[in-house]
Copies of this chain bind each other. A is one copy, B any other.
Amino acid sequence: MAVEVVYRSSRDLERLFMDKAEADRHDKMLELAEALAATLQKVSPELTERQADDIGIFMARHRELFAKAFKNNPEVLAELPESIETGT
């Protein structure tokens, strides 16, 4: 038996990481997802919280692609997978 260090984001207590950098990436992803979900619900109040959260997480998981799309290249969105995935 031994004590070991694990890391987690305060936004998602369930998910533990052995690697601090990975925990940090997960936290940053969730931070963006939350900000997006809040924005989406303001823009379209009839969205359910679940819909806003799902879309926020999907976009945050593909943030590099969306960053390019918003910058100058909407066509990159065609590269996205067809549906929400639960993996990272």
Which A residues are closer than 8 A to B by beta carbons? 31-32, 34-36, 38-40, 42-44, 46-47, 51, 54-55, 58-59, 63-64, 66-67, 69-71, 74-75, 77-78, 80, 82-84
Contact = CB atoms under 8 A, between A and B. Distances in A.
A51 B47 CA distance: 8
A32 B69 CA distance: 7
Instruction: State how many copies of this chain the complex holds.
Output: 2
Given A66-B66, A67-B67, A80-B39, A74 B44 contact: no
A9 B35 CA distance: 32
Residue of A39, A40, A51 most packed against chain B (CB within 10 A): A39
A75 B35 contact: yes
